[in-house]
Amino acid sequence: MSAKKSIQAVVGLTVVGFAVVALGDGCGSSSSSGASVDFTALQAQYSKPTGKLSGASDVQSAASQYSKSQTEGGGISSLGGLSEKLGKANGIKLQGGTGSISEPCSGGGTFSISGFTAGGTDEQASIDYANCDEDSETINGTMSFDEISATQIIYSGSITITPPGDTVDLNFELDNGQFAFSATISSGNVVVASESAGWDSSTNTGSISVTDSQGMWSCTIQSNSGNCTGPGSDITWPG
């Protein structure tokens, strides 16, 4: 099975998990395990990035991280309906809107949902995979999500799928179908997204937007040169 299908399997497993929670049929056991996620800070990564672009090296680093996010795991941003599938917590209430549950995976191991909260349109949870065997592949790691609205959802965490042994970093946002990635530079985080002209992840070339603490930059990058215009002085290389 391809890495892309592997991620889809994880997504499907998450949906199954929430179906169990929704039914409340007693099949699951309570669990206090799971990563502690600061969802307020997670939202702030995208609404108020802390980093400040200081030169070409920052832009190139952010672009490389963005390309990696586009290609690892078969290209997580290209999975149709990912936001909708993982956001199926709509209307689900567990023990009055909060709680946790642990379930066996079909081939062994477990997945556990913890820290589930539902308040208004904002729903949050973390899903831990412990040697979870699905379709002859083993999943380990944690996936957290914050479904802010029906069209906006933020993901965090990291999962490893064996075989082939791919590790996928889930640090991205889907907002009205637009994929954005939180990249780390020396001064903090910036948010990277493709522009209409497109981006070639295999060559790190094309057009991207980079939002830092000052505002949004529009960047065009070629193999050995680039230019970004935005709220500060233009960033151009080579000099």
The residue extents of the domains of the chain are: 3-237
One-letter amino acid for residue 116 of the chain: F
pTM for the structure as a whole = 0.70
Give the residue-averaged pLDDT of 214-220: 97
- Reference 18, options 150, 127, 157, 109; nearest CA is 127
- Which is more confidently placed, 183 or 77? 183
The per-residue pLDDT for range 146-175, each reduced to its tens digit, is: 888 878 888 888 878 787 777 777 778 888
What's the CA gap between 65 and 57, in Å, rounded? Answer: 12
The per-residue pLDDT for range 7-23, each reduced to its tens digit, is: 444 444 443 333 333 32
DSSP-derived pairing of the beta strands 137-149 and 122-134? antiparallel
The per-residue pLDDT for range 128-149, each reduced to its tens digit, is: 888 988 777 788 888 888 888 8
* Most confidently predicted of 65-69, 86-90, 139-143, 208-212: 208-212
